[in-house]
Structure 1
Amino acid sequence: MDNIAGTKSSLSWAVNISVVLLVVLWLIPTVGLLVSSFRDRDQISATGWWLSPFPVSENYQVKAPADDATADGGVNTITGNVFGEGSGKVSRFGGKRAAPTEFKAGETAQLTRDRTLTVQSDGSYIYTSPEEITRDPSIYFAAASPPDFSLDNYRTIMASDNMDRAFINTLTVTIPATIIPILIAAFAAYALAWMDFKGRGFLIALVVGLLVVPLQLALVPLLTLHNKVGIGQSFLGIWMAHTGFGLPLAIYLLRNYMVGLPRDIIESAKVDGATDFQVFTKIVLPLSFPALASFAIFQFLWTWNDLLVAKVFLPSNSESWVMTVKIADDLLGSKGGDWGILAAAAFISIAVPLIVFFTMQRYLVRGLLAGSVK
């Protein structure tokens, strides 16, 4: 009886569980990224985000000031506290970088050349040497530090030089690179959907084939072409690049939607004397708004978050940086190891795309399912 229309499938529970699992799988990394954006860099390196509410055991290095050394009976001694004027609890310590936690707190470590080091759990230490201490000896220790959550990562990003300029540059790239391919693709999609001409089937197959071509293959030839025509590494150049990379998907989505429009409306308009341009602008284009909105979401998200195309088709000076290039080249550096900055930058840069998505998301499913059901 499961095949009768209107009846509820006995496997609906499996569908619900699958949806919940997919949501959780997508949500866990997002929560981890959000938590990491508020954590200190050292604590991120020490423990995972799921352990962020608990104290973190980290290794530290301090210098014992040689100027504080006192000589008594041929033994030179330095005393102090590894926490300075602060407080903490030392679990283990060591006298060399290769073994920073070799000894337990309270033990006396026998170092090279008859030197000794004792570090108590409260951080107080005694360093002795039979020879005169001329250089500040290093003391390594492990101590548990409380969870550290702050807005420092966000302040670092927002207060960085030219971040406002990078935001404006990102809008300058993204808005035209979203509008231009929609305008071109709408005309092409109408022609492929409702106009009869020789070679239409080949053009449709070509558009579908271009969907699987990696854009990396076209970067160097396209940049060479742009340099020859005089638009290389400029905003016009990157607009044209994003337009070319986005057109296959735009034409494919819009054509599928336009093919599903009622034929009677279009034929009636042509019988009344409407031209193809009038049919397109007065009937097809308004009815195709869900498909236009769905592609606009995809294209906006793609261009806003793009790094590769921006690095290839924009000048390398800081005045032309978009937000992704600013974060990657200036804030993170060549190694990109500051995960707190990277996590905070991800949430800052995603703010505008989220606004666009939630504003137009009601059209997304309608546009994606265009042409799937007749």
Structure 2
Amino acid sequence: MAAIAGTKSSLTWAVQLSTIALVLLWIFPTVGLLVSSFRTVDQINSSGWWASLTAAEQNEVYRAADPDENRVADGTMFVVSGNVFGEASESTVSVWGTSSRAIDAYQAGDTADLGDGETISLEANGDYVWQGNDDQISGRGQRLFATVTAPPDFTLDNYEQVLLSGDSTNSMAKAFFNTLTVTIPATIIPIVVAAFAAYALAWMDFPGRALLIAMVVALLVVPLQLALIPLLRLHLEIGIGKGYLGTWLAHTGFGLPLAIYLLRNYMVGLPKDIIENAKVDGATDFQIFTKIILPLSFPALASFAIFQFLWTWNDLLVAKVFLIDATGETTVMTNQIVELLGTRGGNWEILATAAFVSIAVPLVVFFAMQKYLVRGLLAGSVK
């Protein structure tokens, strides 16, 4: 009796745990990216994002104020005082030193003897007093190496740098609108074309229909990289290369096979009686398509729209090949992130911020339309 269809499986708990694990594996990197986008480079280098809500200990290098402008006479000696943090701060100094080789030589509040009567002290709150004669208190300020415990701190400077850095043609904000310019038409055009083609392959009887369906299925396995160079040469020959139009058509061509296949499977599963009754009442194929098929096919249309939008938004390869622009006027976000990082990489705080800005719109689109995703993917799977 345990094998009877419809009974609850004893492995349901394993499925549920696996689902939870997959969700967490997807959520953790996204949360980490969001938190890191509000942290400074020093915080990212010193601790993980999961430690961002607790006080962090890190080694810092400070320099006393310029003696020539800030020293004050005290009898035969001169004094330079101030605060290493520069302004009111909740950070505290635990240990410090005057050399990078002995960063923990003194405790907070101790006074270091620099020789010949020259001394310097550093308090836990960052206040320092540097004292010496005329020759000693001159030139550049004394360097101080300290281990500092800093409270959680978040900043919007990363977003300001990412969104507003560079001129109007070389900023993430400009790249954001360029990406929208590429993505929206590259999502709408294949949906419109594929909807007409899917209706014809599903409900119109004409010679060669089976062969066309087989060709659509065969095109699903054609690698994108295989068609890039021939397609670029064709675009250059007809004069639409290196621009938005060529990029829209490239994304349309690469997305059409899946769109037609997905929509046709859905339309074939629609009730046949509705379409036959509409034809009996004198409706044309265009009227049936626009007034019956399209409204009923919205889950499948939304499902493909999610995929196409995400693929196009996150694309770098097609944009690199078909959207070449030395002036930066048509640079998309994926390419702008590469430009922000430079040739040596690094700048992790900029990478985290730029990456989160890039995924923000796809996340909104996905969560807004996710209820149609499964319905569209399962279209035509059950008769």
- CA deviation string 1:326-361 (max 9, x = no partner): 44424x444453333433344444443344334432
- CA deviation string 1:237-293 (max 9, x = no partner): 110111122122212222322333345555666788877666555554443222111
Give the 3-state SS of the residue equivalent to 2:58 in structure 1.
strand
Select the residue among 192, 207, 220 that pairs with 1:208: 220
1:154 aligns with 2:179: no
Structure 1 pair 313/93, CA: closer, same or farther in 2 (3 Å)? Answer: farther
Structure 1 residue 368 displacement after superposition? 0.5
**Which consecutive unaligned segments of at least 5 residues does structure 1 have?**
71-75
Q: Identify the residue that residue 103 of structure 2 maps to in structure 1.
A: 101
Structure 1 pair 94/181, CA: closer, same or farther in 2 (3 Å)? Answer: same
Structure 1 residue 301 displacement after superposition? 1.9
In structure 1, how many angstroms separate the alpha carbons of the residues matched to 2:331 and 2:11?
A: 52
Aligned length: 368
Q: Identify the residue that residue 62 of structure 1 maps to in structure 2.
A: 62
Q: Percent identity?
A: 60
Select the residue among 310, 327, 332 that pairs with 1:317: 327
Q: Identify the residue that residue 73 of structure 1 maps to in structure 2.
A: none
In structure 2, how many angstroms separate the alpha carbons of the residues matched to 1:35 and 1:361?
A: 25
Structure 1 pair 258/29, CA: closer, same or farther in 2 (3 Å)? Answer: same
Q: Identify the residue that residue 294 of structure 1 maps to in structure 2.
A: 303
Q: Identify the residue that residue 89 of structure 1 maps to in structure 2.
A: 92
Tell me, yes or no, if the aligned pair for 1:207 and 1:251 is still in contact at 8 Å: no
1:30 aligns with 2:30: yes
- TM (norm. structure 2) is 0.76
- CA deviation string 1:14-39 (max 9, x = no partner): 33232222222222222222222222
In structure 1, how many angstroms separate the alpha carbons of the residues matched to 2:380 and 2:372?
A: 15
Structure 1 pair 2/278, CA: closer, same or farther in 2 (3 Å)? Answer: farther
Structure 1 residue 227 displacement after superposition? 1.9
- Structural RMSD (CA): 4.2
TM alignment of 1:1-374, pairs within 5 A: 1-4=1-4, 6-64=6-64, 65=66, 67=68, 82-83=84-85, 88-95=91-98, 99=101, 101=103, 103-105=105-107, 123=126, 124=128, 138-160=143-165, 161-162=167-168, 164-194=173-203, 195=205, 196-197=207-208, 199-200=211-212, 202-210=214-222, 213=223, 215-263=224-272, 265=274, 280-281=289-290, 283-314=292-323, 315-330=325-340, 332-374=341-383
In structure 2, how many angstroms separate the alpha carbons of the residues matched to 1:52 and 1:82?
A: 23
Give the 3-state SS of the residue equivalent to 2:220 in structure 1.
helix
In structure 2, how many angstroms separate the alpha carbons of the residues matched to 1:146 and 1:50?
A: 14
- CA deviation string 1:60-91 (max 9, x = no partner): 22334464899xxxxx9988764456565333
Q: 1:312 is aligned with what amino acid?
A: V
Structure 1 residue 146 displacement after superposition? 1.5
Tell me, yes or no, if the aligned pair for 2:217 and 2:257 is still in contact at 8 Å: no
- CA deviation string 1:175-201 (max 9, x = no partner): 110111112223333444454516346
Structure 1 residue 7 displacement after superposition? 4.0
In structure 1, how many angstroms separate the alpha carbons of the residues matched to 2:88 and 2:364?
A: 45
- TM (norm. structure 1) is 0.78
Structure 1 residue 55 displacement after superposition? 1.7
Tell me, yes or no, if the aligned pair for 2:164 and 2:173 is still in contact at 8 Å: no
- CA deviation string 1:110-153 (max 9, x = no partner): 99xxx998766565476999x97755554333211221123333
Tell me, yes or no, if the aligned pair for 2:216 and 2:257 is still in contact at 8 Å: no
Structure 1 pair 349/266, CA: closer, same or farther in 2 (3 Å)? Answer: same
In structure 2, how many angstroms separate the alpha carbons of the residues matched to 1:165 and 1:77?
A: 51
Which deviates further from its counterpart, 268-277 or 184-193?
Answer: 268-277
In structure 2, how many angstroms separate the alpha carbons of the residues matched to 1:90 and 1:134?
A: 26
Structure 1 pair 319/36, CA: closer, same or farther in 2 (3 Å)? Answer: same
Tell me, yes or no, if the aligned pair for 1:2 and 1:10 is still in contact at 8 Å: no
Give the 3-state SS of the residue equivalent to 1:257 in structure 2.
helix
Q: 2:316 is aligned with what amino acid?
A: L
Structure 1 pair 352/105, CA: closer, same or farther in 2 (3 Å)? Answer: same
